[in-house]
Structure 1
Amino acid sequence: MTTKEPKTADELLNAVGPAFGKLRRSSLLEVESPISAKDLSRTLVLNIVLEAEQDGGREMTVGAIAEHLGVDPSVASRMVSDCISAGYLVRAASQEDGRRTVLHLSPGGTDLMARFRRHQRATYEHITADWSEQDRLELARLMLKYVAAQDSLRHRAASKGRTPAS
């Protein structure tokens, strides 16, 4: 964001998009147990697989990863291959359709994601250290609400056979 504080509701709402973009471009602070830049990018894929496993054990494929990330399947395939080579993901036969290959976190992937979650929390606590407890919790609550609404839009669009951007 700029150094100028938004004064009107319109200015504030116009500043949200660029702020999210800046968050996405910046890496997490090296607060505790730093995550390498390469592993940080791998967590994009690993998080999708982890969420699927936690969401009733949904099977995750390379195609589904591509959809979630909004990238070409060949890009997702390279990202998945990198995670497999690093020892964070394993391929397995689908229990629903033996012709299909699904992805699971390896023990190393599970460990990396646990370390990443601790790192995310430590970073959040470091950045908001001089905030009131009420402000810290309110931002956390609103971020979760925002992400849930975004997921809801994605699921509605998928059920209509299109992506949210189309």
Structure 2
Amino acid sequence: MTAEAGGPDSEALLDSIGATLGKLRRRTHLVKVVDPPVERKDLSRNLVINIVDEANSEITVGGVADQLGIDPSAASRMVSDLISQGLLERLASQRDGRRTVLRLTPEGTAARDRFRRQHRQAFEHITRDWPARERLEFARLLRKYVDSADDL
């Protein structure tokens, strides 16, 4: 299948992006060579930890819900799980004492780092047969894509 710019194959390739990105997220955590092994709840925990970690300012449970595109009650359950695991903590906002914001604990930072190592291991395993140049180019383009999405 060739995907020359403007050709019919390029249209099919571009039409497949949504499903491809979803599959990427779902499949990466299933790679069995990752050490330590990925646990069942790690996918959702990783999502919330990254949202809290990447927040440019204070973030609330409502902010997590907005970022994930889910109901606030579902986000609250996810956050409560992370708090009970000692990965997040609730604090009074420094801007508005009536608000409660979220912050990673030292254990949460360690979990973030573990998730990142696991993702790198999965990436390296999945792309193990790729030339190094292609592996790095894909990583660079994927980061460029995410950075562009962040700019929206």
Could you tell me the TM-score, scaled by structure 2's length? 0.88
Matched residue of 1:97: which SS? coil
Between 1:127-136 and 1:23-32, the stretch displaced more is: 23-32
CA-to-aligned-CA distance 1:96-146 (integer Å, 9 cap, x gap): 111111111111111111111011111111111111111011101110111
State the alpha-carbon separation in 2 of the partners of residues 89 and 59 from structure 1.
13
**Which structure 1 segments of 5+ residues have no match?**
154-166
State the alpha-carbon separation in 2 of the partners of residues 67 and 131 from structure 1.
37
- What is the percentage of aligned positions where both structures have the same residue? 55
Q: Note the 1:57-68 alignment, pairs <5 A.
A: 58-68=57-67
Instruction: Tell me the amino acid that sits aligned with residue 15 of structure 2.
Output: N
C-alpha RMSD of matched pairs (Å):
1.5
2:91 corresponds to 1:92: yes
Aligned residues: 145
Matched residue of 2:96: which SS? coil
Contact preservation (8 Å) 2:36, 2:118: yes
Between 1:95-104 and 1:31-40, the stretch displaced more is: 31-40
Matched residue of 1:60: which SS? coil
State the alpha-carbon separation in 2 of the partners of residues 72 and 41 from structure 1.
14
Counterpart position of 1:117: 116
State the alpha-carbon separation in 2 of the partners of residues 114 and 96 from structure 1.
29
State the alpha-carbon separation in 1 of the partners of residues 114 and 84 from structure 2.
19
Contact preservation (8 Å) 1:6, 1:15: no
Counterpart position of 2:27: 26
Match among 30, 49, 52 for residue 49 of structure 1: 52
Matched residue of 2:125: which SS? helix
**Cα offset, 1:27, TM superposition:** 4.5
Matched residue of 2:91: which SS? strand
State the alpha-carbon separation in 1 of the partners of residues 131 and 65 from structure 2.
39
**Which structure 2 segments of 5+ residues have no match?**
4-8
2:19 corresponds to 1:39: no
